[in-house]
Amino acid sequence: MHGNKILTILYSHRIYFWHDFLILYKNRFMKKLLLFSCVLIAAFTVKAQEQNNGTSYTTAVGLKMYPGALSVKHFIASNRAVEGLAFVSQDGFRLTGLYEIHNDLGSVEGLQWYVGGGAHLGIWSDRWKTQFPDRNAGMSIGVDGVLGLDYKIKGAPLNLSFDWQPSFNFIGYNYFESAWGGLGIRYTF
């Protein structure tokens, strides 16, 4: 029974994500932001002509699903990275910063596991309160953990990751969130 409830919640969040994306896309500001993002990606593509197509990278930009956030990851040392996540929906937004420690996993070239922690700040609307009556609208601040796998595809400027990112809000409403994380697809340079 508990497993079915989790699947129902995850499915409903997936529907809200696409619904929110379509509503935001209709917004004039969001169209400009999307255009700016495309120009930025094109500029990164030009710079990537000098890209090392090996099994390591310095910086990667892309998307991380669940919850559908923009992800920027940058290595500050050979095995240490910082990752920023920006999640925006009709209900508000959440910004997350993570510090990650990476280590090789077995003999698979380009495959690493990582662990780390960080913090987040979210601003939520009254619509959020309507959908989740046990949570308060307004600001939420909390801590995050992360545990995952990171794979740089050799010969291509692509990085894939799969992780679990539990978090706990301690300002706004006290709440443990265990459903964040998932598949990340990023362009490396």
Q: How far apart are CA 187 and CA 42, in angstroms?
A: 11
CATH number for the domain that contains residue 65: 2.40.160.20
Is residue 19 in some structural domain?
no
Domain assignment of residue 114, yes or no: yes
In a domain, residue 44? The reply is no
Q: 1 lies in a domain?
A: no
Residue 110 lies in a domain: yes
Confidence band, pLDDT 50/70/90 cuts, at residue 121: very high
Q: Considering the domain boundaries, does residue 103 fall inside one?
A: yes
Render pLDDT for 72-112 as a digit per residue (tens, 0 to 9): 999 999 999 999 999 988 888 999 999 999 999 988 999 99
The residue among 78, 72, 83 whose CA lies nearest residue 55 is 78
Q: How far apart are CA 22 and CA 69, in angstroms?
A: 15
Residue 159 burial (CB < 10 Å; 0-12/13-18/19+)?
Answer: buried
pLDDT, averaged across the chain:
82
3 CB-near residues (< 8 Å, 6+ apart): none
Give the helix ranges, DSSP H, for the chain. Answer: 2-26, 28-47, 126-131
Beta carbons within 8 Å of 120's beta carbon, 6+ residues apart: 94, 95, 96, 97, 140, 141, 142, 143, 144, 167
Residue 100 lies inside a defined structural domain of this protein:
yes
Across 24-32, average pLDDT: 62
Q: How many domains does the chain have?
A: 1
Does the structure show a pLDDT above 90 at 68? no
pLDDT for the residue numbered 134: 75
- Domain extent, residue 156, equals 52-188
30-44, 87-101, 132-146: which has the highest mean pLDDT? 87-101
The answer to whether residue 24 sits within a structural domain is: no
pTM of the prediction?
0.73
